[in-house]
Amino acid sequence: MKRFPLRIIAIGSLAMFLSQTAMAADEKPKTIAGASASMLSNTCAGCHGTYGASNGPSIPTLAGMSSAYLVETMLGYKSGEIPSTIMGRLAKGYTDDEINLMGEYFAKQKFVAAKGQKVDADKAAKGAELHEKYCEKCHSESGMAAEDDSGFLKGQWKSYLAAQMMDYQNKDRKATKKMAKQLTKMHKKHGPSGIEELIEYYSSGE
Ligand code: HEC
Ligand code: HEC
């Protein structure tokens, strides 16, 4: 069984709904966007939390993320361009239309910042300065502005962010040219402790 069990249930009830409305069962759910978007998105809740607000610690929050970023990331998982432990296999089970619907759904949810993460205050203070200097330009409002289409930084779960930073460092996840330039600059001047400080900052409450 390639597909996720919950999803089969969702598709089952969707097919029933579609036959009731005298539409072909294989017609794309696009026509009933409201219902199908939430049905599809419910299959993500087991890991990403209700409405996409994750309970952590290694699973990122999706709630409030821009549709453009979610879609781009899902397509990156699907093609293998973005490395992952789980999402690559999972993303392959969804069509691009379904991914677009989920993108719209999660963009409408309210972002909930990760709570209760352990933080080293001194490192977080240094991280705030590094963020301002090297990252804020594209990750504005401390990386909490969905409209930047670049994921959430502050308020995202720490182990997820740490894993992403490691993937960017190792070039397993490819950063845009400009971000790579800033990361390299930051790393040259501040070394691995700079990355640690940034992550402490992003983990330090709202
Ligand atoms: C079995 C658990 C699980 C399920 C179910 C799941 N995810 Fe994920 N998701 C993860 C993990 C773990 C990561 C971190 C990347 C990785 O290692 O796969 C992640 C990462 C993501 C990211 C990247 C977020 C960012 O900040 O870049 C997106 C987007 C995402 N998932 C979307 C979804 C959607 C949409 C669904 C439902 C179709 C879903 N996920 C279902 C576990 C899951
Ligand atoms: C020139 C613009 C730019 C700069 C500068 C930049 N970023 Fe990014 N960042 C992006 C974009 C665009 C993405 C979306 C994903 C991608 O392209 O890899 C992103 C994604 C990320 C992600 C992944 C988020 C997720 O949810 O998975 C992290 C982590 C990150 N950036 C950290 C940083 C840090 C730390 C700095 C500063 C040292 C920085 N970025 C500087 C543009 C930038």
Q: What was the pLDDT predicted at 72?
A: 98
| Cα–Cα distance for residue pair 138/100, rounded to 1 Å | 23
Distance between CA 14 and CA 35 in Å, rounded? 9
What is the Cα–Cα distance from 203 to 206, expressed in whole angstroms?
Answer: 9
Low-confidence ranges of the chain (pLDDT < 70): 1-35, 206
What pLDDT, in 10s, does the model give residues 60-117?
999 999 999 999 999 999 999 999 999 999 999 999 999 999 999 999 999 999 999 9
End-to-end CA distance of the chain: 41
Point out the ligand 1 atom lying closest to the alpha carbon of residue 44. Answer: 37
Ligand 2 proximity of 175 Cβ (cutoff 6 Å): yes
Ligand 1 atom nearest to CA at 85: 17
